[in-house]
Amino acid sequence: MHTLPTAMIQLLAPFALLFSERVWRHAQVLLAGTILAPGKRTVGAALRVMGLGNTKQYQRYHRVLNRAVWSSREASRVLLGLLVKTFLSEGEPLVIGLDETLERRRGAKIAAKGIYRDPIRSSQGHFVKASGLRWVCLMLLVPVPWASQVWALPFLSVLAPSERYAQERGKPHKKLTDWARQMLLLVRRWWPEREIVAVADSG
């Protein structure tokens, strides 16, 4: 079993309580591999860059994402707490950026996908469609000491299924504004005493 550097283990320690001991060992390897992997950040790419491309326990790392019991929402709460502690002074408001991003995905098993405007390939006068999953993201906007501008540090992402997906299951479709409101209310529960300033584009 590979061992991460002590400094990285200490940095990740606040997340350890969210996992069982066995799952946490695999999760640390995946996280380090995802940071280091060039190109697409898949489980396979993460394992290869960590020197585990030929491991016989390949499925154990996939189970961290598709079977193991842990809360991504709690991981987001811990991450936001670390970001606030690192970059903000006591009493400073939380300036939260909201945005959507399109993950291009195809295939019959990707049930929640929809057809959306491709923000990369489209322009003001040219509309390009793309199939994929739409995610709503929250980012903490902070001035980073070694940078000359404010950085947007993501801490929470929520899948916003397509309208067709909701109709096929007889459920009401939630607009992006509904998702954004729900996510901001979650941050309010995490930080009841802090002022929260939400920043978003016209979308």
**3-state SS record for the chain:** CCCCCHHHHHHHHHHHHHCCHHHHHHHHHHHHHHHHCCCCCCHHHHHHHCCCCCCCCHHHHHHHHHCCCCCHHHHHHHHHHHHHHHHCCCCCCEEEEEEEEEEECCCCCCCCCEEEECCCCCECCECCEEEEEEEEEEEEEEECCCCCCEEEEEEEEEECCCHHHHHHCCCCCCCHHHHHHHHHHHHHHHCCCCCEEEECCCC
Q: Per mean pLDDT, which of 12-26, 45-59, 119-133, 158-172 is the most reliable?
A: 12-26
Residues of the chain with pLDDT > 70, as a percent, come to: 95
Residue 157 has pLDDT above 70, yes or no: yes
> Could you tell me if 107 and 133 lie in one domain?
yes
Residue range(s) defining the domain that contains residue 32: 6-66
- Checking if the pLDDT of 125 tops 80, the result is no
Mean per-residue pLDDT of the chain = 87
Q: Who contacts 39 (Cβ-Cβ below 8 Å, separation ≥6)?
A: 45
Report in angstroms the alpha-carbon separations of 18 from 76, 86, 95: 11, 21, 26
Residue 146, pLDDT above cutoff 60: yes
Boundary-marking domain end, from 14, 32, 66? 66
One domain, residues 117 and 162:
yes
CB 183 within 8 A of CB 177: no
Cα-based distances in Å from 77 to 56, 80, 155, 194 = 34, 5, 8, 14
Residue 10 tokens, joined: 């200490």
Q: Are residues 127 and 39 in the same domain?
A: no
Give the residue-averaged pLDDT of 3-17. 86
Let me know whether 60 and 89 are in one domain. Answer: no
Give the predicted TM-score (pTM) of the model: 0.85
Q: Is residue 108 located within the same domain as residue 141? A: yes
Query: Which of 18, 46, 66 is the last residue in one of the domains?
Result: 66
Q: How far is CA 192 from the centre of its chain?
A: 23
- Whether the pLDDT of residue 54 is over 60: the answer is yes
The yes-or-no verdict on residue 30 having pLDDT over 70 is yes
More confident call, 180 vs 54? 180
10 Å Cβ neighbour count for 128? Answer: 11
The reply to whether 125 falls in a domain is yes
What mean pLDDT is predicted for residues 36-40?
A: 86
171 within a domain of the structure (yes/no): yes
Q: What is the mean pLDDT of residues 63-90?
A: 93
Show which of 66, 86, 104 is a domain's final residue.
Answer: 66
